[in-house]
Structures are given as structure tokens and as C-alpha cells.
Amino acid sequence: MNTVFTQELDRFNGLIKVIRQSCVDLKRAIKGEVLLSADLEAALNSLKLGQTPAMWLKKSYPSLKTLGGYQKDLLERLGWFQEWLEKGIPDKLWITRFFFTQGFLTGAKQNYARKYNIAIDLLDYDFEVVPNEEEAVPPEDGINVVGMFMEGCKWNGPMFSLDESEPKILYSTCPMVWFRPSKPEDFKKLQTYECPIYKTSLRKGVLMTTGHSTNFVLLLRLPTKMSPDHWILRGVAILCGLDD
């Protein structure tokens, strides 16, 4: 996990460097000290419109937020990693705040594989919704994940199942989920909907050199009283970040 943490900080430092340098170059270009390049001009136009500059997004985690939302989101991510640095790994893990979410999930799975001397290729994640999030404690194996959003449905705590969204409510908060590494044959047997997790609402991405998508994370199995086909028709998905 220290390796994952260090790699995340390297990525954030690279993003901060690009943001800071572009702002310095823009100020100098406005004063006439340097030439206004095409990239800087595009960044200036984006800032005028309250949009996130494309030159930032090239080095950034996937985001569809406007400038104000992006700035707030970035500061929250940096603050969370700063807290991790000072106090150790948090009890609740916001996978929504990672650059490379798949790398973090692989790291957590690797810890389990080394602990029990099981080949990591034989493992996958089983999922359990945590009933009482406020009193939850870090599990002995696996991780407690928070911070995601549901699109097209909501979580019904008393029923312990997916349920229809409230009228005119597009997104709802996803409950805390225990990501528990396990062999597939040891998974709990119950009716679930395999809900895809995306980093943004765009729901599409490109394949990276690591073999992972830039947007799709994994399929999260959630308990449901209704047929899984019902939620497929609803287009239900989980998002790591909203557009605003």
C-alpha cells in the first residue's frame, strides 16, 4: 500500500506542477514577457468561461467538473492524502480520490494474497454492504470503501436491497461497501446486480497500457430483491465523481 500511496503522490505532484506553471506562464504572457502559445491561449479561454483547461486534464485524473468544482475536488483529494501521510492509512477508503483506482484495488488484493500465501490470480473481490457505517471498524481483511454515487437507483437500508430512486433525484449516495478478497468459489450466494463502477458519468474510456480502462473500474455486486434485469434496463451504475 505504501507503493500505491507513493505513486499516487507522484501523479498529484505532476498535476500540481502543471497547474502552477501554466498559471505563472499565463501571468507572464498577459504582461507581454513571453509569447502566448496555443495551449496557453486555450487555457486562458477556458478559465474565462469557468471551465477546466485541457492542458490540466491531460495530466489529471478523469473529471467532467467545471473549474470551481474541479478546484474543490482537487483540494479535497490532496487534503485526504495529506491526512493519510500524517496519520497512516484511513479507516474508510475513498477510492473516488485515487488517480489510478485499479492499482489501489490490486494493492489491497495483494496484501491478502501475501498474508494467506494464495496466488493473486485465484482471488477476486466479494462485496458486502456495511449496515452501520458510523460504527464500522476497519476489517481484518479487505477494505471499507466510501464516497461513491448511485445513478438510476438508491440503496434501501431497511430492505437491504437496491430500490427505485426518489422522484426527480438523479443521484444518491452509495453505502459503505466492504471489498473482501476471496476465491470466487467462496463468494456468498445471493441474488445480486453486477453494477458497473465508472470514474465519470461519461461511461466510456480508452484502454491504458496496463490493460485497464481509463473510466471503468470493476463490477460491484449489490443485493437486490428485484431481478437484475430490472436494473440493467434502468441503466443503473455507480460513479466515482459527479459532473458538478
CATH number, domain at 188? 3.10.490.20
pLDDT of residue 84: 92
Q: Which of 33, 53, 79 is the last residue of a domain?
A: 79
Residue 215, domain member (yes or no): yes
pLDDT tens digits, residue range 170-222?
999 999 999 999 999 988 888 999 999 999 999 888 887 777 788 899 999 99
In a shared domain, residues 146 and 63: no
In a shared domain, residues 21 and 126: no
pLDDT of residue 17: 97
Give the pLDDT band of residue 3 (cuts 50, 70, 90). confident
Residue 87, domain member (yes or no): no
Give the pLDDT band of residue 35 (cuts 50, 70, 90). confident
Q: Which of 32, 55, 79 is the last residue of a domain?
A: 79
pLDDT tens digits, residue range 125-183?
999 999 888 888 888 889 999 999 999 999 999 999 999 999 989 999 999 999 999 99
Residue 27, domain member (yes or no): yes
DSSP string over the chain: -HHHHHHHHHHHHHHHHHHHHHHHHHHHHHHTSS---HHHHHHHHHHHTT---HHHHTTSPS----HHHHHHHHHHHHHHHHHHHHH-S-SSEEGGG-SSHHHHHHHHHHHHHHHHT--GGG-EEEEEE-S-STT----SSSEEEE--EEES-EEETTTTEEEPPPTT--EEEPPPEEEEEE-GGGS--S-EEEEEEESSTT----B-TTS-BSSEEEEEEEE-SS-HHHHHHHT-EEESS---
**Number of structural domains in the chain:** 2
Residue 61, domain member (yes or no): yes
pLDDT of residue 227: 94
In a shared domain, residues 34 and 137: no
Residue 244, domain member (yes or no): no
In a shared domain, residues 177 and 209: yes
Residue 7, domain member (yes or no): yes
In a shared domain, residues 31 and 140: no
| Share above pLDDT 70 across residues of the chain, in percent, rounded to a whole number | 100
| Share above pLDDT 90 across residues of the chain, in percent, rounded to a whole number | 70
In a shared domain, residues 98 and 218: yes
In a shared domain, residues 48 and 144: no
Tell me which residue range forms the domain holding 65.
Answer: 2-79
In a shared domain, residues 131 and 231: yes
Q: Which of 79, 104, 138 is the last residue of a domain?
A: 79
Per-residue pLDDT for 238 more than 90? yes
